[in-house]
Amino acid sequence: MKFKFMRYALPVAALILPSVLTLASAASAEETVRSDEVRVTATRVARELHDVPMSVSVMTEEDIRKSPARTVGELLEDVPGVQIHNSGSQGLKRVSIRGESPNRVLILIDGQKIAENKSMDGTAVLIDPSMIERVEVIKGPASVLYGSEALGGVVNIITKKGGTKPVQGEASVGYSGASDGFNSSLGLYGRSGGFSYRASGSYEDHDRLKTPRGDMPHTSFRQKEGSLFLGYDFSEHFSIGGGVDMFDSSISAGSMEPGYENFSVEIPEWKRDKVNLFAEARNLTEYLARVRFDAFWQESRKHMINTVDVDGMPIKIVNDADNINRQTGAGLQTDWQMGDSHYLVAGYDYNHDALDADTLASGTLKAMGMTMYRDISRHEGSMDTHAFYAQMESVLPYDFTLNYGMRYTWVETDMDRAEGTRTSMGSSRPKETGSTGSTSESRPVFNVGLVWTGIDDLALRATFSQGFRVANLQERYVLSSMGGGTIYPNADLDPETSNNYELGARYDNGRFTLDAALFYNDAKDYIDNVTIDAAADISEYRNVSSAKTRGLEIAAQYAFDCGFTPYASLTWMKRKFDYGSWETYHVGDPTFTGRAGLRYERALPKNTLFHADAYARFANASRDDIQEDSGISTITYGGWTTANFAAGIDFGSERQYSVTAEVLNIFDKTYQFSDSVYEPGLHANLKFSWRF
């Protein structure tokens, strides 16, 4: 490991050293990056969105406050390049970016990831929208700055912190016709002297999902969350703080397929508890602009009961799993202002993920009520991830800015315990549950981006970036039997890698706004579960495919003086999977998705603001080709367009009150996102919020 590290440490030094040497002769920077200029932190530095050298979409605090969305997934479903997977339930949302599965999208809360080491579907977003200040969606590989898992992109959720007055508050209550459910939230926050604080809580309770085909069985969900933040500014140069966050949910998932009405996944407990601390020093010298240290501990506990009770099947199968992911992480980041032309971000990240999983599986003969078998399995393992990263921003002549960086990552994976017992007909014997073992993976990844701002209000960019993802504990070592089938692990899996190329443009003159990106992604060594015995429903994780993705994302709007703003967003995307023996362009993703509409905003007397939005969402038909023993089978998903209308009013002396109402899927269309559950039919949502 030392030799591998030194081999790649030299390029890192070569990247940093020339700029470090300029410290001896660099002139003092006339101004540094101010915190009040923060727009997005996609580059791990506060930058105006206009100047960021990558595709970034932002949901602001105002967007979130007015939206009746029940989950973060619903907040993001109209972001160009993003698809939301519902995994059989309305309360369980996962994010796909540019066609990459949720396993290849990194979910961060305040820059710290949520780990998921025992899931076939990827990381769920376990936070209530009322806790969020803004969401930044970084599209395309972000492995240099954020690390493994970021082949598709990153969803970075920034939570609310303190305020501007000694005592402030906000409250909201909402109703969702999609599930005949209610949600509410309350937050108290403020700033006094050097102290800042926030205490927040939320609660949601939703019934079964109402679709045009009827109520979806096993789709109710409840969630509650409480958080506390406390910070202190010793001076304008030094701050410390920390917080506690507790999220608790109960989720059900089901199916409407004929014969599968009794198939269900009940998650009576899915909790996330987190404690985090930070310390930040700013403008220490004329060269050292910032030093920030972050540390956190987080535990995610998931209790899942999968019942397979299919008509015509003689045995009822119940899998009861209790999975705990414990994380300990720390990061140190330094920002260097090297004269007027160079800004360097360099740091170190560490993350320890520990998995503790117990599973009880049983099969009962339905005709006699007799237990045929009981399987007990236990897994204990961990992943340690270390990474050094460096990214430089250099201002060049002729209005060019160059961004270039490198990250060296090594991951140590250990499965210390994988054992099981099968009891059948009164006798017990060892049962195969996977394997123990350890592996080590390391690799450098690079990125380079060029931004040109030679025309007022316009930024053109060209970017190359690499992705790198290491197989998780389940893919390497854990045998899984959820859903009635069996998936074998594979300890010899290679990491997934990708090269991404992008051309983009942003234009904003205060009236006309355009954001467009043309991208191409070439990914190799995809990990997928491949069928090895169709009759017995047995598969195995293997490096079986590569994927080439090309696409275009575009969003535009024009604001007229009369208050009307027509707008549209469109994503065009084609993906090609190559499995070696066969290849296909039909991978379940629609070629076109988007939203188009007309917004209206008008100021009324007594400091009142009225706003309305009439819009359509759409996606064309798609299909998914799947190789089986008998050949290629195809699943088809129909295209769809929905009509929607929303209206709201902000009122009060400071427009502190807000009421938003919306009617969605006005023509009661039946549709779904890829392999997710059906989306709601015609329904109305209502939300009232109050700031004080």
Phi, psi of 120 (to 5 degrees): -85, -10
Report in angstroms the alpha-carbon separations of 685 from 386, 645, 690.
Answer: 45, 11, 17
pLDDT digit string (tens) for 253-294? Answer: 888 777 777 788 899 999 999 999 999 999 999 999 999 999
Q: What is the pLDDT of residue 44?
A: 64
Give CA–CA dist 483/501, Å, rounded: 38
Q: What is the pLDDT of residue 264?
A: 84
Beta bridge partners of 501: 464, 520
Q: Residue 507 corresponds to which amino acid? A: Y
Give CA–CA dist 602/562, Å, rounded: 8
Tell me which residue of 203, 197, 198 sits closest to 187, measured CA to CA. 198
Residues 56 and 40 sit within 8 Å (Cβ to Cβ): yes
Distance of CA 471 to the CA centre of its chain: 18
pLDDT digit string (tens) for 301-326? Answer: 999 998 888 777 788 888 899 999 99
Q: What is the pLDDT of residue 455?
A: 95
Q: Who wins on pLDDT, 537 or 129?
A: 129
Average pLDDT of the chain, as a whole number: 87
Tell me which residue of 40, 51, 54 sits closest to 463, measured CA to CA. 54
pLDDT tier, 611 (very low <50, low <70, confident <90, very high otherwise):
very high
pLDDT of 46 > 80? The answer is no
Q: Who wins on pLDDT, 146 or 622?
A: 622
Q: Which helix (H) or strand (E) holds 246?
A: strand 238-254
Q: What is the pLDDT of residue 203?
A: 96
Q: What is the pLDDT of residue 84?
A: 85
pLDDT digit string (tens) for 165-177? Answer: 999 999 999 999 9
Place of tokens 């599973």: 359
Q: How many CB atoms lie within 10 A of CB 78?
A: 18
pLDDT of 228 > 80? The answer is yes
pLDDT digit string (tens) for 201-210? Answer: 999 999 999 9
What's the CA angle centered on 494, arms 491 and 499, to 5 degrees? Answer: 155
Superfamily of domain 2-419+428-691 in the CATH hierarchy: TonB-dependent receptor, beta-barrel domain (2.40.170.20)
pLDDT digit string (tens) for 377-410? Answer: 999 999 999 999 999 999 999 999 999 999 999 9
Q: Who wins on pLDDT, 448 or 8?
A: 448
Q: What is the pLDDT of residue 122?
A: 80
Give the pairing of strands 370-396 and 342-365.
Answer: antiparallel
Domain spans, the chain? 2-419+428-691
Q: Residue 540 corresponds to which amino acid? A: E
Residues 578 and 543 sit within 8 Å (Cβ to Cβ): no
pLDDT of 485 > 80? The answer is no
Residues 440 and 411 sit within 8 Å (Cβ to Cβ): yes
Q: Which of 51-65, 325-339, 440-454, 513-527 is predicted with the least confidence, judged by mean pLDDT?
A: 51-65
